[in-house]
Chain A
C-alpha cells in the first residue's frame, strides 16, 4: 500500500499487487515496485544507497519494520500475499 501522494505520482490505486522474486524482502519488494512504476524511483529510498528516505515508514502485520535490514525476509503473510506491506509517510508537520 502506498501513501496518497505516491499513488497519484505513479497513477495507481491505494494497493498494488506485485510479483516479487524470492526471497521476499524490503529490497525485492521495492525493486519490483520501482521496476513496475519507475516514477517512484528515488521517492521511497535513495537511488544510489537504497537507504530508506528518513520520513518513510514500512509497516506489516501490525509491526514497524522500518529499521529492518533491507535483505531480511518480510513476515510470511506479506510474502504469501495474505497481508499488505504498507509504505507510508511519517507523521510530521503538526
Chain B
C-alpha cells in the first residue's frame, strides 16, 4: 500500500510524519537529534530507506547523519567538509572582503539513481559531493572558484548554497542557487559553472541586472520539463523555459512577490505554488492570513488557497526549504512554518490540515512517496 513519509527539519530536532495514501491520519515520530538545528533531511530517490540529515549546532558544529531503515535508526556519517585548495574572499555585508569559512550544510541532494551518491550545499557557499553515502566528502571547487566569487555577498542567513536541482534527463546538468549570488548551471557534472541569471533584476545592487549578486531564494523544476525552472527571488517570482539562459517575471497578481518557497505540482508542470511573505523587513504572511498561492497557468495568474489555514492573527514565515510536493494523485502539498506548524493538502492545495501544530520552528520539509 502506498503512503508518504514527511521529513521535517526544525531548530531543535528532526521529525518524521507518516501516513497512508489518504494522507488523513498521521503518525508523528521525533524529535531525532533533539536540541540540534536540522537544516535539512532528505531521502534517496533510489532507495527510500536511505535518509540523510544535516545536523548542526553553534556549540558543536556540523554533523551529517545517515539512516538505512527509513529513519528508525541513524548513524553519524562524515563531517569533514574541507574546501579544496586555497580559499579567497567574498564580499561582506559592508562590501569589504571576507574570508571563506565553512559554517554548515544547508541542503542535501541525493543522486536520482545512486543511493550512495549525494551532494551538499554549504555555507560559506560551495558544493560538496560524496560517493560513499556521506562517509567522505570532496568539494567540486569550480563553483567556489568561479571568476565572480569575490563579488558574492551573504544574505541575511549567510552566504549559503541552499538549492541543488539535478536534471533527470541529463546527468551532467545541475543547477544550484546561492544567496546572494544567484543561479549557476553546470553541464559537466559540477566541474565548471556559469551564471544563469539573465532577466533577473535586483534593486539591492547598483547595477540591477548584473550577472551575479541576486538573492535567489529557491528554484524548482518539474521532472518532465527540465528546461523549465521556477524561481522565488528575494523579490519577484520568475520563470525560465531555456534552462536558465533567460528568465521572465511571472509575479502577476500576487499580493506581494517577496517570499522563500516555490514548488511545482507533481502531476501538472504548469501548476506552481508560492507562499507570499509581506516584505524583506516583515518576514510574516500579509494581513495576518496564511495563504498559499497557486497558478495553474505557469505563473502570472494566481489564486489564494486558504481553506483550513489560519485567516486571522497569523504572523508566521515559511522558509526556503520548507515546502514540498508528493507524487500521488491528487498531488499532496506540504509546508512548515516558523511557528512550528506543518500543513498538508491532499487535494492539490484546495484544502489544508495541520499535521502538527507545535513543533520547533520549521527549517525544512521534504516528502517521500512510498509505493
A contact residues vs B (CB 8 Å cutoff): 3-6, 8-9, 39, 41-44, 47-48, 53, 55-56, 89-90, 92
Contacts and interface: CB of A to CB of B under 8 A. Distances in A.
- Main secondary structure on chain B at its contact with chain A? loop
Contact of A55 (B33, B59, B62): B59
Contact of B59 (A8, A39, A90): A90
10 contacts: A5-B35, A9-B60, A39-B76, A42-B63, A43-B60, A43-B79, A48-B82, A53-B60, A55-B58, A89-B60
Interface of B: 33-36, 57-63, 76, 79-80, 82
Nearest to B76: A39
Contacts of A4: 35
B63 A56 contact: no
Contact of A5 (B57, B76, B82): B57
Contacts of B59: 3, 5, 53, 55-56, 89-90, 92
Nearest to A44: B60
A1 B63 CA distance: 20
Contacts of B62: 42
A56 to B, nearest CB: 7
Contacts of A44: 60
A9 B76 contact: yes
A47 to B, nearest CB: 6
A89 B59 CA distance: 6
A43 B80 contact: no
B300 to A, nearest CB: 45
B60 A41 contact: no
